[in-house]
Structure 1
Amino acid sequence: MDQPQNLKRAGMAFLGAGIACFVTTLVAGQYAFLGVGSAFIGVGVVFLGKSRQAG
């Protein structure tokens, strides 16, 4: 498989997980998920940036 494509998929997965953590924070009021969601979104952005750079 193509490495940039793998990085893009991983980046999208991390962004999705981060958004899910933010939704959990809003719905359940569990503010611990806010930091976890921010970290997931940050990792997703880095992976997407790497996939664009490698392509």
Structure 2
Amino acid sequence: MSDLFWLNNEHMARLEPFFPKSHGKPRVDDRRVLSGIIFINRNGLRWRDAAKE
């Protein structure tokens, strides 16, 4: 699964201060969400056309 991520640990460490804090509800994997956003933007896709992974 890690081959699907666009950001490595160094990138995530730099972005970590900008993530919202969890308020009682478990957060989704930020790396997975950001990688999906990058994938959509780089490939010019719509969200509904993206792969589920």
Task: Give the TM-score of the pair, scaled to structure 2.
Answer: 0.34
Q: Higher helix share goes to which structure?
A: 1
TM-score (norm 1): 0.33
